[in-house]
Amino acid sequence: MAAKLTGKLGESVLRLEDPPLITGRGRFAADISFPHQLHMRIVRSNWAHAKITRIETTAAKALPGVHAVWTADDITDVPPIEFREGHIENLAPYRQRALGTGTVRYVGEPIAAVFADDAYVAEDAAELIEVEAEELPVITDASAPPAEFSPGQSTEADIVRQGYGDVDAAFAEAAHIVEAEINVGRHSGVPLETRGAIARFDASRDVLELHGAAKVPHRNRETLATMFDRPIAAVQLYESHVGGGFGVRGELYPEDILVCVATLRFGRAVKWIEDRHEHLMATNHSRQQLHRVRAALDKDGMLLAVDDTFFHDQGGYVRTHAIRVPMMTCGILLGPYKVANYRAAGHVRLTNKTPAATYRSPGRFETTFVRERLMDIIAREIGMDAMELRRRNLVRKEDMPYAIPLQVLGDDVEYDTGDYERLLDMTMDHFDWTGIQADIERRREAGETVGSGISLFVEKSGLGPSDMSRISVDRTGAVEVITGGASIGQGFETCMAQICADALGVDYRNIRVVHGQTERIDHGVGAHASRATVLTGSAVNEAALLVRAKALDVAAEQLQAPVDTLDIVDGQVFRTDDPDGPSISLGEISQILAPTRAQPEGRDPLLAADGWFYTDHQTYPYGLHLAVVKIDRETGGIKVERFLVGYDIGRAVNPMLVEGQIAGGFAQGLGGAMFEEFVYDERGQPQSVTFADYLLPTVGETPAVEMLLREDFKSSRNPLGIKGAGEAGVTGVGAAIASAVDDAIGLPGAVTQLPITPQRLKAILNAAG
Amino acid sequence: MSDQHDITLTINGHAYGVSVEARRTLADVIRDDCGQTGTHLGCEHGVCGSCTILVDDEPVRSCLMFAVQADGKQIRTVEGLADGDVLHPLQRAFTENHALQCGYCTPGFLMLAAGVLEREPDISDDDLLDVLSSNLCRCTGYANIVKAVRQAAAEMKAG
């Protein structure tokens, strides 16, 4: 047996996903069509807050090619869009309906839907619809006093609280108290593919199909089944290619509900493709929070207490995520530091903006900015070196596993493994941080405005409690891995294939990975919260080991050899003590296990198995971001010259893909740190509704990230030792760049708001004189 | 509708006779009327470059052009980039350098780079960055796209 297994766990092999994508044969939502389909176009509110008094649809309905026009009155039987994790009584009044009824609460809220034979005609008809409304007072600032959302309901939907210890006592005895007000701007995922939903009611099977699904098809299937009072098996979701997810794509939005209702009523497929203008005011926003945070320290700079009050700008409604982001904010604010006492209160406030929910690294991008800004401000206030302050307060290796009486996604926080200070030292050595500082000094003397900054963070991944996968080998030896995971471009298929290849002993290219098809498997966690590789990957590992055991069992009989002398490489089972002797392929074993052949007592047919993986707690990767920036004092422009990342992932399934995740995350973090912002005027009119106003970073602004990827501390929470990778690139970017800008202009703690636009930086420079 | 125009679009060497309204964009007609869905729409206002194709060998945003304007012209899209089963050097370089994740922007980047490298095989690094900054990618952070295009450029030059 000279064969070498290709695609083992840990190899940077090429992606299985690429061939159709580089040849134009992908199938994204807009590429899906059905015969006789209708096209849906949404009429949206032009008002941030108004009472609708009249909607005139006669002219639209009369346009040739128009099949129907709906307003809220046409779908009174459709319930509001339910939360992903189930009903939450106190938040129920804030849910969004598919079409706004009576009062509209943000610009972009759907108020009518047109169905026509042609997308252009649907758009023509939408323009013929006249809407009249009476404007109501507008709230655009979540820290402003709450008002009335609806009769009897405050715009403060909830106050989320987490904490432990005696914060007041700690402040009473503190040597230093430091306060700060810190603002995170409103931005979001903005994938390059806009949303799309194509619903088709198949009366022959009595199945409601939703195509263009993403992220969490199984969860959405359950929600839709509940909303439409159908058995779960009578609702099927189909994920095809997804042009970026980032948290926003794949949640259930009004448009997803409308196409489903329409196909159930009309019996024709109904297709909706969002345009970019719509996307920027209809798809979930994220991030915007104002924090008023204070810290109590002893004389040595040890953190005695942190007390944070923040205002979470929820936008017009509470969507599918409910209050996950503010809860996460409370739960992970402390990051890598030990804090004896802690109190966080998050005011979840409805405003007249596009509703907000998760965006890659939800709660962590925000809190890392807040926490690391706070550390820089503390250092300034108490006269201590900021790096020394951080080192003193870090959670130590000997503290692991480190439990904090807080919750993240309903899971008790317990950091599993790691040595934060060691990674800090290794990263600084690796990138010659001392040399970088010396270089910055030289350039400053030459008159340049340059500086460096740092942020430390703890990520979370692999939320349980369980996931499953089903693996089968056919008579040719081809392997199919069925998962309830989802692919949003991250390389899911390749990762799952590598895990299976490694455990089973087959070439990863001989493995077909199924995801996002509710028809193929009953359960799945999808792709969110850096869960897929940890949770689904572990389930694939379990199933592959079961298939392997069954194959070896049969092979042992066929080769007349004990199981423990056998190995599988490249789909061929052979004796390790006689590698050139007789062997048998997995395909042949599959044939022996065919249901058409009698099996010995106690052995089921088929070379196949279901694998389940269970975990009690999430796993916590960690890392740091370092930035070097140059400032143009005249314009307030910032150039990020270098961006360095140190990250301990436990174990990388495919290092090339992990690096890809970090590089891509960084670019998104850079956008949120410097360019991207959903701006509203005082009447609640969105000012960022084209790519000319909402600025995504281009190659010109995005330096190549330099990375130190470590696998020093494997997760203790799964057999493979893996931790998540999806969000590590974005988490600390805002914080590190802010710190570097401070350093460059010689004003520690000066930046307290993201994004750091040229105007805001100029204002800081002008104020400093 | 009285506004129908009979035009011929030659896409990757194949002539498509279609009858379209004057207002229909080239991108929509290539995708919906000619069935070539490899060309993607990301913004429909000429900023993101996902819909970049070659019209008479020049990179064009197909969302900003009407189909009637392309009547009789030679159009090349991502579907025509490979030579049968043999990938174009750019396609190979993109997969080898992990220059795509979701793959949505990829056809636009491939056609932009193909057009530019054919016209300017000796393009400087700075000019290449300048050209590539006209398209948006939300997944990769760009570094691998730049690497891939440089690798393909070297290969194409070497023939």
What mean pLDDT is predicted for residues A267-272? Answer: 98
* Residues contacting residue A282 through CB under 8 Å, at least 6 positions apart: A42, A44, A108, A110, A195, A253, A255, A274, A354
**Chain A residues closer than 8 Å to B104 by CB:** 28, 191-193, 241, 243-244, 489
- The answer to whether the beta carbons of residues A297 and A174 sit under 8 Å apart is yes
For A22, which of B24, B100, B134 is closest by C-beta distance?
B100
Residue A94: phi, psi to the nearest 5? Answer: -100, 5
Nearest-CA distance A391 → chain B (Å):
30
Question: By the CB < 8 Å criterion, does A118 face chain B?
Answer: no
Taking alpha carbons only, the member of A10, A3, A7 closest to residue A568 is: A3
Q: How far is the C-alpha of A542 from the C-alpha of A122, rounded, in Å?
A: 50
Question: By the CB < 8 Å criterion, does A35 face chain B?
Answer: no
Q: How far is the C-alpha of A547 from the C-alpha of A607, rounded, in Å?
A: 6
Judge: A193–B141 Cβ closer than 8 Å, yes or no: no
The single-letter code of the amino acid at A612 is: W
How many CB atoms neighbour CB A425 within 10 A?
14
The pLDDT tens digits for A141-197 are 999 999 999 999 999 999 999 999 999 999 999 999 999 999 999 999 999 999 999
Say whether pLDDT at B2 is over 80. no
DSSP A510-568: GEEEE-SBTTT-S---BS-TT-IIIIIHHHHHHHHHHHHHHHHHHHHHHHT--GGGEEE
What pLDDT score was predicted for residue A410? 86
* Percentage with pLDDT > 70 across chain A: 100
Quote the longest CA-to-CA distance of chain A: 88
Taking alpha carbons only, the member of A299, A354, A356 closest to residue A325 is: A356
Distances from the Cα of A326 to the Cαs of A159, A322, A356, A463, B126, in angstroms?
A: 9, 9, 11, 17, 43
Taking alpha carbons only, the member of B109, B118, B115 closest to residue B148 is: B109
* Residues contacting residue A667 through CB under 8 Å, at least 6 positions apart: A697, A702, A729, B137, B138, B140, B141, B142
Q: Which residues pair with A643 in a beta bridge?
A: A627
Structure tokens at A16: 């299985």
What pLDDT score was predicted for residue A280? 98
Pairing of strands A706-710, A637-648: parallel
Tell me the residues of chain A between 240 and 279 that have a Cβ less than 8 Å away from chain B.
241-246, 275-277
Pairing of strands A578-585, A402-408: unpaired
Pairing of strands A270-273, A38-44: parallel
Choosing among A16, A21, A117, A642, which should be mutated to test the B contact, i.e. which has the most B CBs within 10 A? A21
Average pLDDT, chain A: 96
Q: Which residues pair with A449 in a beta bridge?
A: A631
Say whether pLDDT at A606 is over 70. yes
Say whether pLDDT at A1 is over 70. no
Judge: A276–B40 Cβ closer than 8 Å, yes or no: no
Average pLDDT, chain B: 97
What pLDDT score was predicted for residue A529? 78
Taking alpha carbons only, the member of A374, A366, A352, A189 closest to residue A287 is: A366
Question: Rounded to the nearest 5 degrees, what angle is found at the Cα of A691, between the Cα atoms of A688 and A692?
Answer: 80
Judge: A699–B107 Cβ closer than 8 Å, yes or no: no
The single-letter code of the amino acid at A653 is: V
Q: How far is the C-alpha of A274 from the C-alpha of A280, rounded, in Å?
A: 10
DSSP letter assigned to residue A642: E
Question: By the CB < 8 Å criterion, does A729 face chain B?
Answer: yes
Question: By the CB < 8 Å criterion, does A19 face chain B?
Answer: yes
Judge: B103–A663 Cβ closer than 8 Å, yes or no: no
Judge: B98–A15 Cβ closer than 8 Å, yes or no: yes
What pLDDT score was predicted for residue A397? 97
Q: Which run of H or E residues covers position A392?
A: helix A386-393
* Core vs surface per residue B113-138: b (16+ CB within 10 A) or e: bbbbbeeeeebeeeebbebbbbbbbb
Taking alpha carbons only, the member of A705, A609, A659 closest to residue B101 is: A659
What pLDDT score was predicted for residue A662? 97
Question: By the CB < 8 Å criterion, does A232 face chain B?
Answer: no
The pLDDT tens digits for A389-424 are 999 999 999 999 999 999 998 889 999 999 999 999
**Chain B residues closer than 8 Å to A277 by CB:** 44-45
Question: By the CB < 8 Å criterion, does A672 face chain B?
Answer: no
Taking alpha carbons only, the member of A349, A320, A315, A318 closest to residue A107 is: A315
**Chain B residues closer than 8 Å to A31 by CB:** 31, 37
Q: Which residues pair with A292 in a beta bridge?
A: A181, A309
Rounded to 10 degrees, what is the CA torsion of A657, A662, A667, A668?
100
Burial (Cβ within 10 Å: 0-12, 13-18, ≥19) of residue A586: buried
Taking alpha carbons only, the member of A753, A669, A701 closest to residue A246 is: A669
- The answer to whether the beta carbons of residues A493 and A637 sit under 8 Å apart is no
Judge: B38–A666 Cβ closer than 8 Å, yes or no: no
Pairing of strands A207-213, A196-202: antiparallel
Say whether pLDDT at B1 is over 90. no
Say whether pLDDT at A711 is over 60. yes
**Chain A residues closer than 8 Å to B145 by CB:** 699
What pLDDT score was predicted for residue A531? 84
Question: By the CB < 8 Å criterion, does A733 face chain B?
Answer: no
Say whether pLDDT at B59 is over 80. yes
Judge: A490–B94 Cβ closer than 8 Å, yes or no: no
Taking alpha carbons only, the member of A459, A502, A451, A460 closest to residue A481 is: A502
Of the pLDDT bands very low, low, confident and very high (cuts 50, 70, 90), residue B159 is confident
* Residues contacting residue A144 through CB under 8 Å, at least 6 positions apart: none
Structure tokens at A568: 């599988």
Tell me the residues of chain A between 62 and 81 that have a Cβ less than 8 Å away from chain B.
none
Q: How far is the C-alpha of A83 from the C-alpha of A669, rounded, in Å?
A: 27
Of the pLDDT bands very low, low, confident and very high (cuts 50, 70, 90), residue A3 is low
The single-letter code of the amino acid at A42 is: I
Taking alpha carbons only, the member of A633, A703, A627, A626 closest to residue A447 is: A633
Residue A491: phi, psi to the nearest 5? Answer: 95, 30
What pLDDT score was predicted for residue A23? 98
